[in-house]
Amino acid sequence: GSAIHISSNGRFVYAGNRGHNSIAVYSVDQNSGQLTFVEHTSTEGNWPRDFVLDPTEKFLVATNEKSHNLVLFSRDESTGKLTLLQSDVVVPEPVCVKFLNI
C-alpha cells in the first residue's frame, strides 16, 4: 500500500495500492464504522506513492513514482467516487504531494 486518507466528514476512506496501481474507495457506516467497498480507480501510472485531497475535497491528486506523473481526479462528494481529469503531468519520481496556503 501507499497513502491512506479519510474525508473530513469521515464518510469515505481512500487507500493507495502500489502493486495494483489504483486507489480504493470505501464508504464508512457512520453508526458502526464498517467499511463498504465503493470502487478501485486506476492511477493511470506505475507505483502510486502518495495522494492528497485538496482543501475543498473536490479534487484528489496522486503521484506515480515509477511512471513519473501526477494524476488529477475530481471527487463526487456524495458517493466518494473519483473521475479522471488529467494524467499527463510529468514529474520525475514524485513521492509526495501537498497543498500550500499562500
Tell me whether residue 102 is in a domain: no
Is 100 among the domain residues? no
2-36, pLDDT tens digit by residue?
899 999 999 999 999 998 999 999 999 999 999 99
Indicate the number of domains in the chain.
Answer: 1
Assigned domain for 10 exists: yes
Query: Which residues constitute the domain of residue 77?
Result: 4-90
pLDDT tens-digit profile of 33-79?
999 999 999 999 999 999 999 999 999 999 999 999 999 999 999 99
**Domain membership flag for residue 8:** yes
In a domain, residue 35? The reply is yes
For the chain, give the secondary structure using H, E and C: CCCEEECCCCCEEEEEECCCCEEEEEEECCCCCCEEEEEEEECCCCCEEEEEECCCCCEEEEEECCCCEEEEEEECCCCCCEEEEEEEEECCCCCCCCCCCC
